Structure 1
Amino acid sequence: MAITSSISRDAKSRSSILSKNVFRAETSSSNRSGRDVQRIQLHDVRRQATAQSLVPCIVDGLKSERRQSPPLLLWNDRGLSLFDAVLDSPDYYPATREWSLLHNAVRKISYSISSGDRLIELGAGNMKKTALILHTLQAQHKHVQYFACDVDRSALRRCIRELQKLFPAKSSNIKIQGLLGTYEDCAAWLKCNKSNSHTSLMWLGNSMANFTPREASEYIRSFLSSGSSMIIALDGCQDQEQIARSYEGQCNREFVLNGLPHANQLLGTNAFDINDWEFVGRWNSKLWMHESFYVARKDLALTVCGETYHFRMGETIRSIRSGKWPKMKVMEICREAGGKVMDSWMNCEETYGVYLVGKH
């Protein structure tokens, strides 16, 4: 799901700010009835409160030459629900292609994870895919410590609770915990919490492609520097008509526009009137990415944190990007990161791939 920090599922109000190397574990019962149930072990690895950090990101985006908003604005509770509708849309091909590929190749993919490994899923959100991989690892009689990493506490707890039902601690080889933080927080935590066993990072859902190729390379470099390997799922479709149908429909419109009221909530003011903005999607051939924008319906003057920002009708604020990178592009991005594609699994049309990436 859905990482400028985490993607995949982000941005609720945070109450504490942690110093860079603080590591705190939170455990709580997942049942109020008093029965003997598993506890949720959640490690808060945040170096700063996400919601508080988003306000300066909003301001910086308005000040930038090419105005943009932090993609994390899309991942509040309502955004998660709206993105579920996107995933269920018949036009949203990435979800069906990834699921089909994982279903067909899951045994081979799972062989890259050894018994005793630490498996961290970045932007954990779709338990269907996670459960498939964990069930396969269990069937292969592997003992694995699985960590779901996300920035939304409530979504993370729900994910862990559901997985604990499928993999009870008393009878399963899969031990489940959570990391509350962004991608950057996770990378910093890995460097300070080295394991005697190997660490595999799993980044599904084409989430890495929410960043530009250069940014994606920096993330890969950061994670590989901890000695980890990565399992990354990426969309390589180049059919622009199909991409437009998938990313510019009504479900996507509602999902992206939800970022504006969320910005108002964080700012504590109604700076963005959703009726003043339209949603538009465009293909960026230079970056091999689809981009989503807020477009001003009329001339506007927005007051945010004491400053006024003017927009002419038709001017834009970029919301989120989604890269469409075929195998050759993925290999180039990994090389720039000092990494190497060690193995890959593609669908029949080679329009979607899962890549095993290690340090070169």
Structure 2
Amino acid sequence: MATKTVVEGDENQIHSELVPLLRLGLTSKPRWLPSLLLWDAKGLQLFEEITHSEPYYLFEAEKWVLEQNVNSITDVIKPNSVILELGSGSLEKTGIILEGLVRKQRPVDYYALDVSESELDRTLNTLRQRLNNNNNNTYVKCHPLVLTYEQSFSWLLNNPTLHGRDITILWLGSTIACESRQESIRLMAAFAAVKKQSQIGKLQFLIGVDGCKDPTLVSRAYDFPPGLTRKFALNCLDNANRVLSQQVFNPKDWVFQGVWDAENSHYNTRIAPTVDLTVEVKGHPIALKKGEPVSVIVSRKYGEAEVGKLVQDAGYFTAKAWKHRDMDYGFYQVRLE
């Protein structure tokens, strides 16, 4: 069933909250930029193009797991419950799960959370058409949320339409592994705390996680010709200029500098200035040396045992795991203890 697009949240507010993070990241050692800068409309479109490129194995691996196990996966989503997807992106793989629910005639409300209003409009319209055209959908209602992860806590706490309803938090694309281990634990524990303080029903996560640690496969996935991932990484500087409402960064003065860290099993997407620079962030001048790396996003690789330990430390347990036939890619049902 198509529903009128009512956006809850404010992109401008999200941008204003990024300013102190920009200053903090650029004055830290090692230096970093908030990964939220990657996900403006252009960044989301570039990433969608990346996911359709052959070297980016994560998309097809997760899609295979979902397609092969959709009946079992949708069995754990109860009728009249709510699905909240963190960082919804293109919604292509999400559609596999939602189509499965439509086939089972299982009514749910689906909320796509992301930080670009225009991209949420575009992707949700495509998703609604897909559900209607293929399945004559009258069961899955789709809604946008222009919010950060942190802002969703208040939404869960203060939304009376959620009272008494079970919540499934959907975290696809190994996005959980783009947060530090400590931050992932903190976020999951915060959702558990929200559940205790609110009137919502049961809470569970469905999480896709990549465990591949082959340096060749991983490096090709995050840096491949014709430089699409480089455009994606450097686009964050254009978005930073929009956040700061002035031309602080010139992308022409920066290069991509991604690296696979075998010891810590993660790929660090970094950029670096090609000349010595001084950038001014709201009255604070910050000196950057030529070639000094600035981390944009880190993609960590977790096998099943590592996922189990992470969720346990957050107060959850792994109830079910669906795995790829050939690759170390898992999709996990995670519940509160």
Same-fold call, TM cutoff 0.5: yes
Superposition deviation, residue 61 in structure 1: 1.1
The answer to whether 1:293 aligns with 2:270 is yes
| Number of residue equivalences | 324
Counterpart pick for 2:181 among 207, 210, 213: 213
In structure 2, what is the Cα distance between the partners aligned to 1:38 and 1:356? Answer: 28
TM-align CA RMSD: 2.1
Could you say which residue in structure 1 is the equivalent of 2:218?
Answer: 243
CA contact (8 A) 1:278 1:296 kept: yes
Counterpart pick for 1:163 among 119, 127, 131: 127
Q: Which runs of 4+ in 1 moved over 3 A?
A: 45-48, 166-171, 284-287
Superposition deviation, residue 41 in structure 1: 4.1
Moved more, 246-255 or 219-228: 219-228
Could you say which residue in structure 2 is the equivalent of 1:204?
Answer: 172
The answer to whether 1:174 aligns with 2:140 is yes
CA contact (8 A) 2:81 2:107 kept: yes
Q: Provide Cα deviations, 1:297-343, integer angstroms capped at 9, x if missing partner.
A: 22222233222222222211111111111111111110110110111
In structure 1, what is the Cα distance between the partners aligned to 2:305 and 2:4? Answer: 41
Partner letter of residue 255 of structure 2? E
Partner letter of residue 305 of structure 1? K
In structure 1, what is the Cα distance between the partners aligned to 2:242 and 2:165? Answer: 43
Gap runs ≥5 in structure 1: 1-36
Could you say which residue in structure 2 is the equivalent of 1:95?
Answer: 59
Q: TM-score, normalised by structure 2?
A: 0.90
In structure 2, what is the Cα distance between the partners aligned to 1:154 and 1:39? Answer: 16
Could you say which residue in structure 2 is the equivalent of 1:234?
Answer: 209
Q: Residues 92, 47 of structure 1: CA spacing in aligned structure 2 closer, same or farther, 3 A cutoff?
A: closer
CA contact (8 A) 2:87 2:171 kept: yes
Q: TM-score, normalised by structure 1?
A: 0.84
Q: Provide Cα deviations, 1:149-171, integer angstroms capped at 9, x if missing partner.
A: 22211111223222332445995
Superposition deviation, residue 215 in structure 1: 0.8
In structure 1, what is the Cα distance between the partners aligned to 2:250 and 2:145? Answer: 35
The answer to whether 1:144 aligns with 2:119 is no
Counterpart pick for 2:79 among 107, 115, 136: 115
CA contact (8 A) 1:233 1:353 kept: yes
Q: Residues 265, 48 of structure 1: CA spacing in aligned structure 2 closer, same or farther, 3 A cutoff?
A: closer
Q: Residues 134, 38 of structure 1: CA spacing in aligned structure 2 closer, same or farther, 3 A cutoff?
A: closer
Could you say which residue in structure 1 is the equivalent of 2:199?
Answer: none
Q: How does 1:3-18 map to 2 (within 5 A)?
A: none
Gap runs ≥5 in structure 2: 196-201
CA contact (8 A) 2:82 2:168 kept: yes
Moved more, 256-265 or 155-164: 155-164
Structure with the bigger percentage of helix = 2
Partner letter of residue 78 of structure 2? S
